[in-house]
Amino acid sequence: MSTFTVGVTGGIGSGKSSFCAFFERRGVPVFYADLESRRTINEDPSVRSAIIKLFGSSAYVKGELDRAAISAIVFSDKAKLDAMTAIVRPALWRRFNLWKKPITAPYVLMEAATLIENGGQEIMDHIVAVTAPEDVRIKRAMQRDGATEQQVRARVNNQMSEEDRLKHAGSIIQNGGTPEELEAQAND
């Protein structure tokens, strides 16, 4: 019997990581796609090679992806973003499948901002979308990342619309309030 997989998605600043953290504290295994994507980009030789081919040798500084420089490129050039996604996505799915293989828990979560954009609704058994008003999400992302409103809006503009994301969700979590209100929804 395979482990039931729950994909947790939402736009930048929606609170999907906070939502997943409630489950993680209860012992539910959580695969954080953004964190694992960073590891894949820095550790997988074939991914590194493809990224260098796409962006040049300056893509990596001291062995790690120059995230600020590459983000500035991909969030202003959709073709480069799509090319980067095409490199990282298959490697990330392989990493997820290897990660969950030995797990015996009844279910696992995968937290991923671009889960739907990357075909996750075809792979996950259930999709949870965490949502919040756009102004709240932008403020959270600015505080969390030390980014400007313009930088955060550029990322928002490269993500699927909330309306389209919610169409794929089996469950919707409204997160415009406090952490305690979010946790109450996680308990439901």
User: Does the pLDDT of residue 188 top 80, yes or no?
Assistant: no
Determine the pLDDT at residue 25: 92
Determine the pLDDT at residue 1: 55
Mean local confidence (pLDDT), 138-142: 90
Task: State pLDDT tens for residues 46-80.
Answer: 999 999 999 999 999 999 999 989 988 988 888 99
Q: Name 1's Cβ contacts closer than 8 Å, sequence gap at least 6.
A: none
Q: Name 182's Cβ contacts closer than 8 Å, sequence gap at least 6.
A: 15, 18, 19, 22, 173, 175
Give the three-state DSSP class for 175.
coil
Determine the pLDDT at residue 181: 86
Mean local confidence (pLDDT), 20-45: 94
Q: Which of 126, 139, 112, 113 is nearest to 168 (CA)?
A: 126
Across all residues in the chain, what is the average pLDDT? 91
Q: Which of 168, 152, 137, 164 is nearest to 17 (CA)?
A: 137
Task: State pLDDT tens for residues 103-129.
Answer: 999 999 999 988 998 888 889 999 999
Of 37-51, 121-135, 150-164, which gets the smallest average pLDDT?
Answer: 150-164
With 0.85 as the threshold, say if the pTM is over it.
yes
DSSP 11-23: STTS-HHHHHHHH
